[in-house]
Structure 1
Amino acid sequence: MASEKKSGLGMFGGVYTPSILTILGVIMYLRFGWVVGNAGLLGSLAIVTLANAITFLTALSICAIATDKVVRVGGAYYMISRSLGLETGGAVGIPLYFAQAFSVALYTIGFAESVVQVFGGLNQLYVALIVTILVGILALTSASIAIKAQYFIMAAIALSLVSLVLGRPLPEAGDIALWGSSAEMTVPFWTVFAVFFPAVTGIMSGVNMSGDLKDPIKAIPIGTLAAVGTGYVIYMLIPLLLAQRGDTASLIEDPLVMQRLSVWGPAILLGVWGATLSSAIGSILGAPRVLQALARDGVLPPWLGFLGSGSGSEDEPRIGTIATLGVAIAAVCIGDLNIIAPVLTMFFLTTYLVLNISAGIETLLQSPSFRPTFRVHWALSLLGAMGCLGVMFLINAIATVVAALIVILIYFWIQRRELQVTWGDVRRGLWMALISKAIYQVAGAEDSKNWRPHLLVLSGAPRKRWSLIELADGLSHNRALMTVATVLPEGSRDAGQQTKMETTIRDYLAKRGVKALVRLSTADDPFIGALNLIETYGLGDLTPNTVLLGSTESPERFAAYCHLLQQVHIARRNIIIFHENPERAFGRKKRIDIWWGGVQSNGGLMLMLAYLLRTDIQWRSAQIYLKLVVQDATAAQAARLNLESLISSARIKAEPMVIIAGDRSFEEILYQSSASADLVFLGMARPHEPADFQDYYKSLSQRAQNLPSTVFVLAAPDFAFAEVVGAPRKVST
């Protein structure tokens, strides 16, 4: 990264001057008379106060963020990206850059129009192009020189205001309505407000110079608030002068009515020209610095990385300025920017909106790292955000929607690139605050209405047992928590290596589209390590309620394995054992067989697991078969009615199948009936029920050898899975 050296601009030259010159812009000269004529004196003062209140609240949020951390190149983009994350910063920063680049063209075209009105023989396009190039050359020379040029423009604006104050009333001057213009008023109040509001949105001009300031932490708050205060005082005085000296018709119909009211009319023209030029200079100084910051953070595509370079000892973005000048010249050649102008205004307001949200969230979360010297209550920041959003819809609802869609598309484009950053942002703090409140809210025993399988997957290395991860992902389906756990030999990893390995596994899962927590532990015996995880892993009452593990085929491990199952059952956890058919895996994922043993035992859990699995997109077309074996035809009819009643009550799409055993054993029926299934669910006996649980599990494991991939299910004791499924309790056999 290129070094960032500040040129040493102070508060007055680096923040106050560009901000106040952008605030005192063309709307003040060309539209303020129209505002007073349509809204009346009190209406105009209300509009000025409301508009400045929104700007003031946003300025307070900017001050809070600016005094918490060093604000480097990029101004608003830098603040947002370091607070709400790179995706949000980039989504706002890219449109903000283009809005500022196109604004250069808007201001120079406005300058050219006013010049042509005075000197009729000139070509407007040529004047706009020449002025745009001259402004670009001024910015390329030095930000400091451009700031000094704005002092002369400020003098011209000050001269025009003095000329207006010392002016005279119109010969036809009459009384101006206090609210509205009575019969002459044809424009609603909020439409007038929407026209005026852009006049007070110049506070970002100083913030965008953050990388060129000697001390941005002090300069930005003082300069920004001083500019807002100065603008408010001037905007409150001008309606008093216009209402006293003008008449409604002249104020509404004559854009340059101030020229007629001034003691020296040409001073107003100097003010108009100075306002347009200062706004153009402010935009061409700010836009390249946003572009430079975007490139340095890697938000722009890699082939545009050269835009992040700086020139000279002051690290000025000359390459970015040349690029911005090219964009502005192209916009000038198009000539008519009226179609996109509302959208550009929306981008500026979107920036204010997000800045307010950033400050509000940071303050609300009370993060220990957020310690601004300029403190603002979170309610003020969020009130400013609501004001920005309301104004956006009042100005142009369609443009607001268009701007929002553009920001959202850029956000997801940046998010898909998975850019890595070296700083934290408020999002993690927000989630931490929500989690801390949620943990206390879910305290207490688990209830059937809100049950979901929070899985602890004893997978070992995920690459070696991916089918187990795939099954767990299908069952959780982003509805529940899933933790992939591995037990390593004691002493094989130190704490640092273990943390690094957890990160590696988490990244591996994420790249394969699996959202899961990862936990590694060490133990001399893997089964003891697994049991320790089951007993200790979790946060408060939020602990895994279901343990998913693979089957074991090693005779020497049966004793330890079965002991683990017994202890997990005693710990009141559901147990899911996956016995994979390595030749078929999950087959075509079209058919799931559940061998029913009653809703009160494992049946309810198996039915719920099959339902959850089918909600996964890969299993969505699977058919669930609910199979029950009876001894004779006499019992078959009643059994089928019971299964149909169960399926209807459970509201789970499944096909009941009642099989008459006759002289066949259950194993024969199982192999014949489920040979074509893609996944088979079988219930397990509770560990204390068989005389020898090890022999029982060994026979169960052997039974699955010739089956498709099979899931053994053992429900936690005394949990009402019948209520989870929503089945009538009488359905059992």
Structure 2
Amino acid sequence: DILSVPGTVDGVANGDGAQEGGRKPSENKDELVRFGWIKGVLVRCMLNIWGVMLFIRLSWIVGQAGIGLGVIVICLSTVVTVLTGISMSAICTNGVVRGGGAYYLISRSLGPEFGGSIGLIFSFANAVAVAMYVVGFSETVVDILKDNNALMVDPMSDIRIVGCITVVVLLGITVAGMEWETKAQVILLIILLIGIVNFFIGTVIPSTIDKRSKGFFNYQANLFAENFGPSFRDGEGFFSVFAIFFPAATGILAGANISGDLKDPQVAIPKGTMLAIFITTLTYIGVAICIGATVVRDATGSINDTISSSLRCNGSAACILGYDFSVCNTQSCRFGLMNNFQVMSMVSGFGPLITAGIFSATLSSALASLVSAPKIFQALCNDNIYKGLYFFGKGYGKNSEPIRSYILTFFIAVAFILIAELNTIAPVISNFFLASYALINFSCFHASYSKTPGWRPAFRFYNMWVSLLGTVLCCAVMFVINWWAAVITVAIILFLNIYVIYNKPEVNWGSSAQAMSYVTALQDALSLTGVNDHIKNFRPQCIVLTGSPMTRPALLDLTLSFTKNFSLCICSQVFMGPRKQTVSDINLSMDKYQQWLAKNKKKAFYAAVAGDNLRDGVKCLLQASGLGRMKPNTLVIGYKKDWCTASSQDIENYVGILHDAFDFEYGLIILRISQGLDISRILQIQELQRKEQEKLALEAAKRDEQEDGKRGIRSLKFLNKAVKYSSNTLAVNAQKDFKISTVHAADFNQHLLEASTQFQKNQGKGTIDVWWLFDDGGLTILIPYLLTTRKKWCGCKLRIFIGGKLDSINEEKRA
């Protein structure tokens, strides 16, 4: 039987790693508020999609685009959301989904570079969406005040006042906790459903004279035909109308955005999201067709604008139905699809229910966005990708509510509420949402294309090419809606991406970008095997016998002087001794020394082997190192300084290594420095010195604690200062005036330390002497030449000495 620890395999699939020892999280799960797929995802998505556009702007969109293009606008939005929903479902079912919604999905798939940028943008877009929905709510309130002659100042100012009061109330609900917010959502959904049903009932109730004068005539075939085609006005077009409508479709991530508060996100997100898209799309199409078939585009609202029998009809649907609204062609009218944003309230069976529905739709969407933005932002801050934002990641209460992020979102929302123009705010967030959708689709495509074994989603109804189509479609729509806004959005993403790459956050989520790098490297290495060697493409690829990379820095530095960014360099070490111990040492050293090379910007690999003696280990390296054409051809070794005192066996092994290199057709480079190469003794002394400093600091801290009586408060501060002083002292001493204590003075060689770093310095205007005794294929000339191409060696000149008679040398030159 296999013991399964919850959260280990699935966690690794999404790059979060397993919890140590399979231990449970510290928080008590029974105390946390968790939601199922209906309350947590379906209800949220439906409320967010049935937002301000359904009740306030859909009639205007049908008036501008007509029924035909209006349905196409809805369907195009649905195609984008369905493709994104499929990709999101695939990513969600590939592993454990934690808090952070779209940010979590993208960052764990594409890495922190794209995840970090889209996390900021998506959080901001949701914060602006709060303003959009609140402004929609405020417009309805102000219309009611206007009808009752109860305006406080003027319509624009009243929208700002009502909006600011509303967002304060919503903030109070969200700060009270997710449980209260969810209860409020359910109540708002019930009101919203009653309002929608009320609208459909109102379309079949015979219209009154008052409603006819305002353009409502029940279902009429000629009215449907007239409204089927577009009638764009005021500079609007298909894509400008689409840009205003599209935020209505952005609610599909409302459930995913609170992924950390769901009982089972892997099941809840796909099921709830896709069902919500289906139900809301049918509702939007149904409302668009019904409203287009029952209401004219322009109406005066005057019951006296009927057509007498003596007047000739102008052929419009209203004229055929007995009303003359032709005055609207020359002056603005207050009613009809194009002029009245409260058409659904007029059509409904009971107007106040539609007003309640508008309140419900706008407030629920605003509430969902007000929760989503801080939750995403909190997850981003806790990952510490942007160091300065960590302050906003702190959570409060049993559900770790992001109070600080709530307050930040509140101020952003208030700033956009002050614009007080719904049609201005809506296009601002369209590009940000589309960019998020594009990256979700691309994440799914990239994970599939990289063929990483960790990509195994349980959601079967996806295809990587469909995800790529979704990516292209989202990007195309971005640029068609508003090309300069799309350029700005892309520029912001790239800027944030470059910022994260430059800062290199210490996270490793096993992203598909890493998997793709491996696949690309593998394919390139395989393609190289089909290329025949040519003398023009020869480059020295070196095995460097450094032992531990830091113990012979001069040997490594010289090699990197002609291999860095040019050819292969492998730092090699042979472990000798009992096999069990050597294997353990190799396993410990591999990551340690490779990380040291990366940290010190040494562009080299580290390889270690076990052998009975040094020669056997080097034989293994000479035969097995490299891959395909990426195979070493040059051995770099230090000169054996102690050959006079070493045992005959050691000397035999050393000379044997040189012979083995020639036998395996390797070039050979031997580096000799008068002071020697091995500084391992100095490193040991420095380590001993560091431990002595720490010991002294601990003793001082203990004394300080006893004297002060504050039980560790001052002593800890003192200890931190002492350790910092100790490390700073060691760093300075290692460079210049390092003075060791008298106990170790005999073991310390200042000249050896200086010689070990000589190839890290600028070599000035010197000469490189080359003694070319015979034609060795050109390696003796190539290495010095490559050195002169480097910045530190560019001031040096080559001086070549050739042995032989002058006449024969001239003949060789001519040849």
TM-score by structure 2 length?
0.70
Within the alignment, does 1:65 sit opposite 2:91 as a pair?
yes
**How far apart, in 1, do the equivalents of 2:353 and 2:571 lie?**
74
The aligned counterpart of 1:44 is: 70
The aligned counterpart of 2:184 is: 149
Superposed, 1:331-410 pairs within 5 Å as: 332=417, 344-375=429-460, 376-410=462-496
The aligned counterpart of 2:557 is: 470
**How far apart, in 2, do the equivalents of 1:338 and 1:474 lie?**
61
**How far apart, in 2, do the equivalents of 1:442 and 1:470 lie?**
28
Aligned AA (1:228): I
Aligned AA (2:240): T
Deviation at 1:424, TM superposition (A): 3.2
- Measured against aligned partners, the alpha-carbon deviations of 1:584-639 in whole angstroms (never above 9, x if no partner) come to 54543556647485997443x456555655565555x5466475769999999x89
* Pair 454,201 (structure 1): closer, same or farther in 2 beyond 3 Å: farther
Within the alignment, does 1:286 sit opposite 2:372 as a pair?
yes
* Pair 531,34 (structure 1): closer, same or farther in 2 beyond 3 Å: same
Out of 513, 523, 540, the position equivalent to 2:601 is 513
* Pair 506,15 (structure 1): closer, same or farther in 2 beyond 3 Å: same
The aligned counterpart of 2:249 is: 200
Deviation at 1:230, TM superposition (A): 1.2
Indicate conservation of the 8 Å contact 1:356/1:381, yes or no. yes
SS in 2 for 1:484: strand
* Pair 352,445 (structure 1): closer, same or farther in 2 beyond 3 Å: closer
Superposed, 1:58-207 pairs within 5 Å as: 58-120=84-146, 121-122=151-152, 123-165=158-200, 166-167=202-203, 170=215, 174=223, 181=230, 187-207=236-256
SS in 1 for 2:168: helix
- Measured against aligned partners, the alpha-carbon deviations of 1:550-609 in whole angstroms (never above 9, x if no partner) come to 333333566543432332233233333344577554543556647485997443x45655
The aligned counterpart of 2:586 is: 498
Aligned AA (1:227): A
**How far apart, in 1, do the equivalents of 2:165 and 2:551 lie?**
68
Aligned AA (1:158): L
Superposed, 1:284-683 pairs within 5 Å as: 284-301=370-387, 304=390, 307-312=393-398, 314-329=399-414, 332=417, 344-375=429-460, 376-421=462-507, 423-444=509-530, 446-448=532-534, 451-491=538-578, 493-540=581-628, 542-555=630-643, 559-580=652-673, 585=759, 587-588=762-763, 593=768, 595=770, 601-603=776-778, 605=779, 609=783, 612-613=786-787, 616=790, 618=792, 621-622=794-795, 625=798, 627=800
Deviation at 1:275, TM superposition (A): 2.5
**How far apart, in 2, do the equivalents of 1:35 and 1:336 lie?**
16
- Measured against aligned partners, the alpha-carbon deviations of 1:500-530 in whole angstroms (never above 9, x if no partner) come to 2222212222122223321122334323322
**How far apart, in 1, do the equivalents of 2:105 and 2:777 lie?**
55
Deviation at 1:498, TM superposition (A): 2.2
Indicate conservation of the 8 Å contact 1:342/1:399, yes or no. no
SS in 2 for 1:389: helix
* Pair 273,337 (structure 1): closer, same or farther in 2 beyond 3 Å: closer
SS in 2 for 1:31: helix
Deviation at 1:200, TM superposition (A): 1.1
**How far apart, in 2, do the equivalents of 1:279 and 1:470 lie?**
61
**How far apart, in 2, do the equivalents of 1:510 and 1:37 lie?**
62
Deviation at 1:365, TM superposition (A): 3.8
- Stretches of structure 1 that go unaligned for 5 or more consecutive residues are 640-729
**How far apart, in 2, do the equivalents of 1:72 and 1:351 lie?**
18
Deviation at 1:29, TM superposition (A): 3.2
Indicate conservation of the 8 Å contact 1:38/1:185, yes or no. no
- Measured against aligned partners, the alpha-carbon deviations of 1:233-272 in whole angstroms (never above 9, x if no partner) come to 1222233223323445643444444444444444444333
Aligned-pair Cα RMSD in Å: 3.7
- Measured against aligned partners, the alpha-carbon deviations of 1:355-380 in whole angstroms (never above 9, x if no partner) come to 22222233334443333221222112
SS in 1 for 2:572: strand
Deviates more, 1:340-349 or 1:22-31: 340-349
* Pair 526,341 (structure 1): closer, same or farther in 2 beyond 3 Å: farther
Aligned AA (1:577): I
* Pair 454,188 (structure 1): closer, same or farther in 2 beyond 3 Å: farther
**How far apart, in 1, do the equivalents of 2:780 and 2:227 lie?**
75
- Measured against aligned partners, the alpha-carbon deviations of 1:107-145 in whole angstroms (never above 9, x if no partner) come to 323433432233252333332222111111111223222
Aligned AA (1:236): I
What is the number of equivalent residue pairs in this alignment? 639
Aligned AA (2:563): S
* Pair 473,228 (structure 1): closer, same or farther in 2 beyond 3 Å: farther
The aligned counterpart of 1:21 is: 47
- Stretches of structure 2 that go unaligned for 5 or more consecutive residues are 1-24, 153-157, 299-335, 645-649, 675-753
Within the alignment, does 1:3 sit opposite 2:16 as a pair?
no
Query: Identity of paired residues, percent?
Result: 30
Aligned AA (2:186): Y
TM-score by structure 1 length?
0.77
Aligned AA (2:603): K
Indicate conservation of the 8 Å contact 1:360/1:382, yes or no. yes
* Pair 553,474 (structure 1): closer, same or farther in 2 beyond 3 Å: same
The aligned counterpart of 1:655 is: none
